[in-house]
């Protein structure tokens, strides 16, 4: 079946502009995650959605970052007033449910470059 998809694959934006990144999880997966991978570093957790529960936003680095999810489908990560330090690959993952035993399936990522 189809995997996790993300769009756009690449985004170049000017400092101060807003950007929206999209994630389509695997159908039927109730859990959805956003991570960030900055150059030469590991992945940092940003936000986690599980079903209709309130999202875990504990990883969002500032109030310029926000994310929404429509039911158990598409999610959008929005970065307002982008800064150069926001340049990274943003990865989305989904899993059948939350918890420690479910594998997370990753999308190909969106490479964001802030100039």
Partner 1 sequence: GNSVTQMEGPVTLSEEAFLTINCTYTATGYPSLFWYVQYPGEGLQLLLKATKADDKGSNKGFEATYRKETTSFHLEKGSVQVSDSAVYFCALLGGTSYGKLTFGQGTILTVHP
- Residue ranges that bind partner 1, judged by CB under 8 A: 31, 33, 35, 41-45, 48, 50, 56, 59, 91, 93, 98-101, 103-109
Which residues are CB-neighbours of 44 under 8 A, at least 6 positions away?
Answer: 35, 36, 37, 38, 59
Q: Nearer Cβ to partner 1, position 35 or 65?
A: 35
Q: Is the peptide bond before 21 cis (omega within 30 degrees of 0)?
A: no
Nearest approach in angstroms of CB 67 to partner 1 is: 14
Q: How far is the CB of 84 from partner 1 (least distance, A)?
A: 21
């Amino acid at each position: 079946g189809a995997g996790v998809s993300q769009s756009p694959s690449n985004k170049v934006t000017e400092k101060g502009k807003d950007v929206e990144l999209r994630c389509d999880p695997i159908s039927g997966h109730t859990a959805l995650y956003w991570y960030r991978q900055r150059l030469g570093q590991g992945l940092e957790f940003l936000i986690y959605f599980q079903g209709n529960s309130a999202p875990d936003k504990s990883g969002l680095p500032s109030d310029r970052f926000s994310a929404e999810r429509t039911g158990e489908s598409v999610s959008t990560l929005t970065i307002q007033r982008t800064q150069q330090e926001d340049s990274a690959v943003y990865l989305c993952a989904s899993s059948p449910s939350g918890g420690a035993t479910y594998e997370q399936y990753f999308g190909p990522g969106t490479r964001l470059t802030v100039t």
